[in-house]
Structure 1
Amino acid sequence: MTWRYIATRMNGDGTETFLNFNVPLSNAEVNPVVNGHGGVKGTITPEIASLKTDDGEHIFVPWWTAIYAEEDGHIRGGGILKDYDDEAPKLQLDCIGHTGYLTDTRYTEVKSIERDDPLKVSRHLWEHTQARPHFNIGVEFAGAETSRDMFIGDDNVTPTTTPTKVTPYVLAYYQTHDLAKEFDLLANIAPFEYTMTHEWNTDKTAIRHILHYGYPRLGARRTDLRFVVGENVVEQPRFDIGGDSYASDVIVLGAGEGSKMMRAEDNAANPGRLGRDAVIIDKSITTPTEAKKRAAAERKLLSGTADVTEIQVRQSDHARLGSYSVGDDILIETAPGWSGIREMWVKILGIQIRPESNVTTLQIMRAEKVSK
């Protein structure tokens, strides 16, 4: 595999200017993810003249410079420079994935929504942002175009019935100051999944940034690939079988105080073991719909079954880099252990690529815990 790192300057009008096609990044990490930002990290040492402008300043400027990791012509990930640490002669770069651009970005108008599609509303956040001068980073959309028509801020989670009371979902300059947070809220309400990819345009003169939507999910169950301990999985994965992974009754407490606090519960009808409580407190939850969905999601995660959070995968014919994507379900075959698990379907939530190593780290979760 041949890797190179490309630096561009984002012009704020949807275009980019190429600055350098061979940034000498070492100890690089490339991290595409589902429902998150990911990005690119790495170190440059020593100082190199080609990475400076005519006035002697280096080309790496937060919220202006972007870095892309390309492997044999395929862009495996990218990000916008958020922070750097200048410890001469080292320069450490931390680039956040392009979805992170919405973090701390505000809404500049007022929009009150009672019934709409959360996925469409999430696209509106990008359209609103990129219509502002200097805020266009060229994000395009692909995949699912709709999720479901529902009451965004209703008092009844069933979208086919008319609620007795509707709390509008409001986007406003006086209260909406973090569109990334709003985007994730809408993803949870639908729910839908998303990821950002980057690819060359047809004549390789520009890089496209594509926000892929999946409703109800991204990826697919891959029966053509497998992860096998001793074959392409470097070591036996560590399974979490602790008591903290189980709860039969989940209560979510959101915005408000005392008896007026936003509240929802999700309880197992027959847990098959002793009952256990889990209390989730999240003041960002402001609607009954959101509270109910959060309670159901948390109890699904707290099923008490053994789980695994990551594995180390070596390049092989059964799982080459680029043959699987975030969102995919893939079967793990393991050696016997205390968990008693020999096979498990897992969903890939993130891929941490270290180009200087033949081993890739996958952030994963038991598939049925996140299946839609």
Structure 2
Amino acid sequence: MPSGWRFIAQRALPETILDWEVPFTLSSNPKRTLSGPGSMAGTIDPEYARMIGADGKPMIREWDTKVYLEIDGVIRWGGLVTKTTFDGPKASISCEGLSSYAQGIPYEDYMVSGALITPPDPYAGKDKNYDGWIDGEKGKQRVPPPPKPYGGPRIDAFDAFRNIWSHIQSRPYGDIGLKIDTHRLGELLGAEDGSSPWELAWWDNPDCGQSLDTLARTTPFDWIETHAWASGGNAIEHRIRLGNPRLGRKRSDLRFADGENIIAIAKPEGMGDDYANEIVVLGKGEGRKMNRAQVHRYDGRLRRVATVTDKTLATDTALRTRGEQELAGRTQALQIPAIQIVDHPNAPLGAWQLGDDIRVQVNVPWIGDVDVWHRIVADEISADGAVVLTLKRSDAFHY
């Protein structure tokens, strides 16, 4: 194991340290992901995996053990053991970020934003003979029209995100210790006039993890999962940082270039059959009443159309936002999917953040010099100190 590295095991409930030096050998590098839980995998001696902790339970157990990678005193990665496989001389351990816990958990409550409210009609039933006059007041007072329906209170997208996580962690044995940022986005869910409410209802059997992903994708906004030592003691704080709406910034202070700190690049690629310059989005509703939006960005090439269906979308804004996102991802030019870098004064290890825009300067055979801004959507560090940055073109994002 590299100098300064150590793997730490902690019980999930309650959070007590089980081992400060877990003999964990990486088979898949610790990966952090923008708006996702990240992952890590490795092997361990079966004898160790079967060891009993001070609490009388196995040291390594699925959905009961948290594992962290600490590098030079900083927690670089954290997550849950989600799968163990005992095969041959080693036990294989798969870990996922704490935020993966939401997947598969049902939402068992009701939340609505922008519901259509129909006020009671104070004159209902007071015109029993249907002549348009209030009973007993014929010729004196006509029945006024009923009150108009209106849109009810609306919820900020971040409040809805926090509400789902609060629901998850309020259940018995469900508090994984995640704290969610408290600021608001300023984007209210549902239509203001009540014509298209946003709701999450237990009778629809919604999955909390999928609901969180859909909310982040369609609003849209970024989030990342972080872990850090709390001030004093051995407590570890877990946090989900929310963008406003995006995370990261343009990093003109960092340099990523061939022959300097880039030691390998993934094969550059175009769009091929995935290219489209027009998107049709089909949303909530059926038949002629289905919500629909169409966006395009013609660039001189032949018209190519892609259709996206998402039954959670009801407002024109949500439909068009989804269409712009899809369009941005399908009209981009050459993209560098990933680069492998080493620690270098141009961009010291840890100088970047997920979501940052970085300028990538490489030479691509048959194409020549490529100088394009990309966004960091994932990173993974290996035991030899090299780091792989997963990238997407900056112009592929739309907020």
TM-score normalised per structure 1: 0.88
SS in 1 for 2:107: coil
- Between the aligned partners of 2:241 and 2:271, the Cα distance in structure 1 is 35
C-alpha change, 1:149 and 1:314, in structure 2 (3 Å) is closer
SS in 2 for 1:322: coil
After superposition, give the CA deviation of every residue in 1:139-185 in whole Å (9 maximum; x if it has no partner). Answer: 1133x7111232x233xxxxxxx44x523222222224311111122
Letter matched to residue 243 of structure 1: G
Q: Is 1:110 paired with 2:110? A: yes
- Between the aligned partners of 1:218 and 1:133, the Cα distance in structure 2 is 32
Structure 1: which 5+ runs fail to align?
155-161
**Residue in 2 aligned with 1:281?**
309
Q: Is 1:357 paired with 2:359? A: no
C-alpha change, 1:57 and 1:120, in structure 2 (3 Å) is closer
SS in 2 for 1:223: coil
- Between the aligned partners of 2:311 and 2:369, the Cα distance in structure 1 is 38
**Residue in 2 aligned with 1:5?**
7
C-alpha change, 1:93 and 1:56, in structure 2 (3 Å) is same
**Residue in 1 aligned with 2:147?**
none
Once structures 1 and 2 are overlaid, which stretch shifts more, 182-191 or 53-62?
53-62
SS in 2 for 1:47: helix
How far the C-alpha of 1:10 sits from its partner, in A, is 1.1
**Residue in 2 aligned with 1:47?**
47
- Between the aligned partners of 2:16 and 2:294, the Cα distance in structure 1 is 51
**Residue in 1 aligned with 2:276?**
247
Structure 2: which 5+ runs fail to align?
115-153
- Between the aligned partners of 2:56 and 2:64, the Cα distance in structure 1 is 17
Aligned residues: 357
- Between the aligned partners of 1:120 and 1:36, the Cα distance in structure 2 is 19
Is the Cα–Cα contact under 8 Å of residues 31 and 40 in structure 1 kept in the other structure?
A: yes
How far the C-alpha of 1:213 sits from its partner, in A, is 0.6
**Residue in 2 aligned with 1:319?**
347
Is the Cα–Cα contact under 8 Å of residues 33 and 350 in structure 1 kept in the other structure?
A: yes
Is the Cα–Cα contact under 8 Å of residues 306 and 339 in structure 1 kept in the other structure?
A: no
**Residue in 1 aligned with 2:397?**
370
C-alpha change, 1:311 and 1:119, in structure 2 (3 Å) is same
The match for 1:139 among 164, 172, 178 is 178
How far the C-alpha of 1:321 sits from its partner, in A, is 2.2
- Between the aligned partners of 1:340 and 1:246, the Cα distance in structure 2 is 23
Letter matched to residue 6 of structure 1: I
Q: Counterparts in 2 of 1:161-176, with a 5 A limit?
A: 162-163=192-193, 166-176=195-205
Is the Cα–Cα contact under 8 Å of residues 243 and 304 in structure 1 kept in the other structure?
A: no
Q: Which has the larger radius of gyration?
A: 2
Aligned-residue sequence identity (percent) comes to 32
The match for 2:160 among 111, 121, 125 is 121
**Residue in 1 aligned with 2:139?**
none
- Between the aligned partners of 2:43 and 2:220, the Cα distance in structure 1 is 37
Q: Counterparts in 2 of 1:151-162, with a 5 A limit?
A: 152-154=189-191, 162=192
**Residue in 2 aligned with 1:23?**
22
SS in 1 for 2:111: strand
SS in 2 for 1:42: strand
- Between the aligned partners of 1:308 and 1:321, the Cα distance in structure 2 is 20
C-alpha change, 1:339 and 1:121, in structure 2 (3 Å) is farther
C-alpha change, 1:61 and 1:284, in structure 2 (3 Å) is farther
After superposition, give the CA deviation of every residue in 1:287-313 in whole Å (9 maximum; x if it has no partner). Answer: 554332211111111124111211111
How far the C-alpha of 1:110 sits from its partner, in A, is 1.8
Q: Is 1:238 paired with 2:237? A: no
C-alpha change, 1:68 and 1:236, in structure 2 (3 Å) is closer
Is the Cα–Cα contact under 8 Å of residues 188 and 290 in structure 1 kept in the other structure?
A: no
How far the C-alpha of 1:241 sits from its partner, in A, is 2.0
Give the number of the structure whose residues are more often strand, by fraction. 1
Letter matched to residue 134 of structure 1: Y
- Between the aligned partners of 1:90 and 1:49, the Cα distance in structure 2 is 10
After superposition, give the CA deviation of every residue in 1:228-274 in whole Å (9 maximum; x if it has no partner). Answer: 11221112442212433531111123455544444321112x42222
Q: Counterparts in 2 of 1:48-67, with a 5 A limit?
A: 48=48, 51-53=51-53, 58-67=58-67
TM-score normalised per structure 2: 0.82
**Residue in 1 aligned with 2:118?**
none
- Between the aligned partners of 1:299 and 1:49, the Cα distance in structure 2 is 47
C-alpha change, 1:88 and 1:243, in structure 2 (3 Å) is closer
**Residue in 1 aligned with 2:149?**
none
**Residue in 2 aligned with 1:343?**
371
Is the Cα–Cα contact under 8 Å of residues 49 and 59 in structure 2 kept in the other structure?
A: no
Q: Is 1:310 paired with 2:329? A: no
Letter matched to residue 358 of structure 1: G
Is the Cα–Cα contact under 8 Å of residues 252 and 264 in structure 1 kept in the other structure?
A: yes
Once structures 1 and 2 are overlaid, which stretch shifts more, 108-117 or 56-65?
56-65
- Between the aligned partners of 2:285 and 2:31, the Cα distance in structure 1 is 37
Once structures 1 and 2 are overlaid, which stretch shifts more, 299-308 or 275-284?
275-284
- Between the aligned partners of 2:282 and 2:369, the Cα distance in structure 1 is 35
How far the C-alpha of 1:54 sits from its partner, in A, is 7.2
- Between the aligned partners of 2:309 and 2:337, the Cα distance in structure 1 is 24
How far the C-alpha of 1:22 sits from its partner, in A, is 0.8
How far the C-alpha of 1:336 sits from its partner, in A, is 4.8
Is the Cα–Cα contact under 8 Å of residues 281 and 322 in structure 2 kept in the other structure?
A: yes
Once structures 1 and 2 are overlaid, which stretch shifts more, 307-316 or 237-246?
237-246
The match for 1:185 among 214, 223, 245 is 214
